[in-house]
Amino acid sequence: MANTTKIADKLERKKLKRTARKKAAPKAKRTTPRGSQKHKVRKMVRGQSKR
């Protein structure tokens, strides 16, 4: 993304960032589903207090 640290005006900065986003190449599709690496937690048994 464009370096906008030196621009003081907020609206101008937003405009530059937006154009940079539009120019950037599209991201590739995910190869693995999101959250697939997350630690899976088993559901608690009914009636057992969690805490």
Residues 5 and 12 sit within 8 Å (Cβ to Cβ)? no
Q: How many other C-beta atoms are found inside a 10 Å radius of the C-beta of residue 17?
A: 14
DSSP secondary structure, 6-51, as one string = T---HHHHHHHHHHHHHHSPPPPPPSS-TTTTSPP-PPPPTT----
Q: What is the pLDDT of residues 11-51, one digit of tens each?
A: 999 999 999 989 989 989 989 898 888 888 877 777 766 66
Q: pTM value?
A: 0.47
